[in-house]
């Protein structure tokens, strides 16, 4: 896994209503929580080569303002972060994150 840093050049977020509802309905993760992760340290970003067919996808391990640890898959479109999916970190991901 190679760490990348491309989100820092973004100017905001682009929300697809279907994905926002999906993240809430499936995992009770709000749009606000997703956005918070990109402003809190530590944050670990990686390229998601396995799922990058039609566009480059990335994933992040990070925490919300309330210390909820999230795994977020996203892409960047026109300098905007577009969240694809968000959920709580699993045990393995928490271990990687806590060692950072």
Taking only the tens place, the pLDDT of each residue in 18-60 is 777 888 999 999 999 999 999 999 999 998 867 556 788 999 9
At 2 the pLDDT is 42
The boundaries of the domain holding residue 75 are 6-99
Evaluate whether residue 1 is within a structural domain.
no
Cβ neighbourhood burial of 70 (10 Å; 0-12, 13-18, 19+) = buried
Number of domains composing the chain: 1
Evaluate whether residue 36 is within a structural domain.
yes
Evaluate whether residue 24 is within a structural domain.
yes
At 6 the pLDDT is 63
Give me the CATH number covering residue 68: 3.10.450.530
- 21 and 34 Cβ atoms separated by less than 8 Å: no
At 55 the pLDDT is 80
Evaluate whether residue 51 is within a structural domain.
yes
Which pTM was predicted? 0.86
């Amino acid at each position: 896994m190679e760490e990348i840093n491309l989100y820092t050049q973004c100017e905001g977020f682009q929300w697809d209503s279907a994905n926002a509802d999906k993240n809430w309905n499936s995992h009770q993760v709000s749009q606000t929580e997703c956005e918070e992760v990109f402003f809190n340290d530590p944050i670990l970003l990686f390229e998601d080569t396995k799922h990058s067919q039609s566009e480059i996808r990335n994933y992040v391990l990070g925490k919300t303002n309330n210390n909820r640890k999230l795994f977020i898959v996203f892409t960047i479109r026109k300098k905007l972060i577009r969240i694809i999916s968000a959920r709580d970190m699993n045990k393995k991901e928490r271990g990687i994150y806590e060692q950072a």
